[in-house]
Structure formats: C-alpha cells, structure tokens
Chains A and B, each alone.
Chain A
Amino acid sequence: MNVDLILEALRKTFPAETIEVRAMPVNETFVTLPPACIRPAAQVLVEQLNLRHLSAITGQDTGSEIELLYHFWDGRGLTLRASLPREEPHIATLTDLIPGAAFYEREVCEMLGVTFEGHPDPRALLLPDDWDGEAPLRQQPSPTPAAPRHPLPLPTLGEGGG
C-alpha cells in the first residue's frame, strides 16, 4: 500500500476539505475527514485503489464528541477518522461497499447510539434483548448498573443434593 498515492487520491476527491494526516506507531496512518466524506472516501479506496480490507470500526466517546475510526489494512494500516456530534450522531453506512462492515456498524450503533443511514439490518448485535439502559460505551458515571445481585427469585431447592 502506498500512502502517498492514497492521500493524493483523497485530496483530488475532496479539494475543498482540509485533510489532516498523522503517522502513528506500528505502520499506521491516521487521516481525519469530515463525516460526510467518509463514504466517498471509502468508495475511492475500494473502487479506485482496491483497498478492500476494513479491519474494524472503532467508536469512542471522547467526552465532547463521538469519534469513529475506520481501520483499513493492506500491508500497512490506514485509519479514517471522523467526529460526530454527541446529540443524535449519524453517518452513511458502508455496508453496500464493504459487506463486512455490517457487524462493525451494528456494534458501534448499539454501543454508542450512532445511526448508520441505510444499514440493511440495524438490530442489536451483542446487547441482550431486554437491554433498557444507555448505550454502554457512552461516557457517563456508569452505563446502567449491572442488574442487582439476586435479581430473580431463586428456584426452589431440594430436587438436587439427593
């Protein structure tokens, strides 16, 4: 993977945007883009540069905003970063470009409450069916306390222990 080539392609696609580039440890390049550019940028990566392996999507709540990190990989790492507002964050889905992104997006959606517009199946991925708390990775004192100790009436003892 040639990072310069990718940056050139991205700058050509978004001439009006400022693209911040930082080299990070372990062969990684972080590129910050406005949220609206993520999907076109992914399109460029997939269709023009044949960079199709999306390793992961990390979502994090920095306290002031929700950050999404799209980790691509092709011999070197390339991470696209976008910042979303904390109130009703939403961004376009990548599932039609990269079907493998479906689970990553579902996870970010339930963990941080980010809406992925156009996601074909936005069900919860990991949280239980009866989850009624906040999105658990949002910064807050504690994400819905784990259900209290002894939350259920214990079944009658006696059949066991013979």
Chain B
Amino acid sequence: MTRMTIPIGPQHPALKEPLSFLLTVEGERIVESVLRMGYVHRGIERICQNRNYVQNVHVVERVCGICSHIHTTTYCQGVEALLGLEVPPRALCLRTLLCELERIHSHLLWMGVLAELIGFTTIFMYAWRDREIVLDIMEELSGGRVAHAVNVIGGVRIDLDAEMSHSILVRLDELERQIETLLGVIQHERTFRARTRGVGHLSAEQVRRYCVVGPTARASGVDVDLRRDAPYAAYDQLDFRVITAEEGDVWARTMVRLLETIESLHLCRQLLAELPQGALTVRAPRRVPPGEVVSRGEAPRGELVYYIRSDGSDKPARVKIRTPTLTTLITLPDQLRDVNTADVPAVLAGVDLCIACADR
C-alpha cells in the first residue's frame, strides 16, 4: 500500500495551539509519527531569572492560560518554603478553592474540545456554556476570567464574605446538575462511545515507563494524585476520592475527568463551609535567603514541578518548570501507532495537551 505523509499542524483545526506532527500513513492507518514542538517556546525559565520574585508571579501565571492559578500556587509555595513563611490558613483555603474551580473549568473546557474534535458540536456548546458558571465565579472572586492574579508570595490577594459564598454555593448546585446531565448524555450516546472506546490506549505499564501523570495516568489505573499523596495548601483537611479507571482509553479519560469535576465541586463546598477566619497574607521580604526547593502541585493535567534556587538576591538564580503535558507528549507516538487517521484528533484531545505549558 502506498505511504503518504500527512502533516498535522502547526496550524490545524485539531490543535488549538501550534504543534507539529508528521504522520506517515498507509491508507488510513498510521505507521509512524514524528513530533516537533517548540512553536510556543518563549524562554520563560530565562525570563524568570531576569525578574524579581514578585514580578515572577505574573510571569509564571502566563506559562499557561488554562491552569494559570496552579502555576502561581506552586511557585509561591516554593518561594514561601525558601523564606520559611507560615501562610495563614484562610489564604491556603482560598488558594485551594481557586485550584478546584480551575480544575472544573479546565476539565469542562477539555470535554468541549474533545467533543468538537470528534464532531459532536452540541456537547462542545453545552460544556462551554456550563463552564461560564465557573468563569463567572472566578471572575467575581478575582476580577479575571482566565488569569486571576490571586496568589502573592505569603498569601492571597482576594477575600470573600458570607453573601458571596452563599451565591457561589447556589451556582455550584446548578453546575452539578448540568454536569450530571452532561455525564448522562455522554454515557448513553452510542456515537460518542464508538469514537472514544479503545482509542489512544495506554497501559498502566506504559504510564509508569513514561512517567505519565494526572488524569491520563489515573485513567490507566495508576492511582497517583498529589493532592492526596503529598497534601499541599489546604488539601490535608479535605475529604475527597481520587477517581481512577482501568481501560486507559479516551473513554476512560473522559469519565475520570468528568467525575473529577464533581469531586472538585464537593471540595469547593467543603472549603466554603469550613473557611477559617484570619489574615490573608503575611509580609514577605523581597530578598530570599540562599537555598533551593522542589515544589509540587496537582495541576488539572497532573503533577506540576517547580525547582527554585535562590542565591540570596531578590531574583531567583534558577526556576525550572516541569509541566504535566511534557510527560504526555512523549507517549503520543506510541498512542498514535496503528491508529486510524480519523482518530488522531480524539487521541490528541484525549490526553489534554497544553502546548503552552510544555513549550514554556
């Protein structure tokens, strides 16, 4: 059979961000795929070395527009550890609240993108319509829909009162109803199942070999979640389930992510019910004593790692960012082998790529 090379990207409707795949196909079956990234490489790690610690909060927020808050959380956490700061409990809870709202927003966004890519525009519209509820809440809390600028070193910048917390709870109930409807539709829609079952399969062994993290790993039966395994912020006081599935295909990832949004809703409710009183920030000095720290957080896409080294000045000597997408990108050539070209968008969407994160 004749071989043909199909380029996917850098500009391609299946990719919201530039990434390039060269697929070698036989008929409609893929035999080889070559990945080229770096189209959104902005050199953030170097930029961070030229700014001071406070300015860097805003730089790392712009590593990724979808999971901006977890980036600042993990970064601030690291700097706070270097400074030996004790962050007030109320600030930790508000940070966690935003983390969970962001997870809901990110997962719903992903659901919509996947649905659009497999040609199910209606689910895309509904998922994104429901996502607006979360965006509204986040906007009311912080003033920003996508970039929130909530974290500062030593605490948070935002606060909420009883009235707002009540109005958030009401909307969360509405959101839960919507998500459950969505879940029902997806579980019963045969065409959706036909397009996602058995597509983009990753075994638990592959997940371990490639050090894959987050919902992609959990959908393959690897039970990892930093929120439970190494509680940061306020997660040690919260009660939640870690969702896993066994199948390891796009279908399992869909279920894991949607059930996770519901779990996140419960977390938000717990946080709002038990929000401690107290200060929002502690004063942080501009200069950071020499030292190094590895800070980890569970982004919507999985484990996020920051390594920060200070040389005693007001600028970090090194900020290393390892984002979860980098680990999933490495599995793509494996996932794409022997796949039908029509399933490429489902595979690409299934692992929830965030190229801006991966390229930095």
Q: Which residues of A contact B (CB under 8 A)?
A: 24-28, 30, 52-56, 58, 60, 62, 69, 71, 73, 75-77, 79, 98-104, 111, 124-128, 136-137, 143
Whether B295 contacts A71 by the Cβ 8 Å rule is no
Closest CB-CB distance, A134 to chain B, in whole Å? 11
Closest CB-CB distance, A71 to chain B, in whole Å? 6
| Chain A positions within 8 Å of B77 at CB level | 26
Q: Which residue in B46, B295, B329, B360 is a CB contact (below 8 Å) of A143? A: B46
Q: Which residues of B contact A (CB under 8 A)?
A: 37-38, 41, 43, 45-46, 77-78, 81-82, 208-212, 224, 229-230, 232, 291-296, 303, 305, 307, 309, 317-318, 320, 322, 326-327, 329-330, 359-360
**Looking at A76, A77, A99, which has the most chain B CB atoms within 10 Å of its CB?**
A99
Whether B320 contacts A28 by the Cβ 8 Å rule is no
Q: Which residue in A30, A52, A69, A73 is a CB contact (below 8 Å) of B296? A: A73
| Chain B positions within 8 Å of A111 at CB level | 45
Closest CB-CB distance, A64 to chain B, in whole Å? 13
| Chain A positions within 8 Å of B211 at CB level | 52-55, 98, 100-101
Whether A100 contacts B81 by the Cβ 8 Å rule is no
Cα distance, A136 to B44, chains bound together (Å): 11
Looking across the interface, which residue of chain B has its beta carbon closest to that of A101? B211
Whether B292 contacts A125 by the Cβ 8 Å rule is no
| Chain B positions within 8 Å of A28 at CB level | 293-294
What 8 new A-B contacts, CB under 8 Å, besides A52-B211, A75-B230?
A: A24-B291, A26-B230, A69-B307, A73-B303, A75-B229, A76-B230, A137-B45, A143-B46
Contact flag A60-B303 (CB < 8 Å), given A55-B296, A75-B230, A103-B329: no
Which 5 A-B pairs rank lowest in CB-CB distance, beginning with the nearest? Answer: A100-B211, A56-B322, A25-B81, A126-B38, A58-B320
Task: Count contacts between A and B, CB distance < 8 Å.
Answer: 95
Looking across the interface, which residue of chain A has its beta carbon closest to that of B303? A55
Cα distance, A106 to B326, chains bound together (Å): 12
| Chain A positions within 8 Å of B359 at CB level | 126
Closest CB-CB distance, B325 to chain A, in whole Å? 10
Whether B81 contacts A26 by the Cβ 8 Å rule is yes
Closest CB-CB distance, A123 to chain B, in whole Å? 9
Contact flag A136-B43 (CB < 8 Å), given A24-B294, A26-B294: yes
Contact flag A124-B38 (CB < 8 Å), given A55-B322, A99-B210, A100-B209: yes
Contact flag A99-B305 (CB < 8 Å), given A26-B81, A26-B294, A71-B294: no
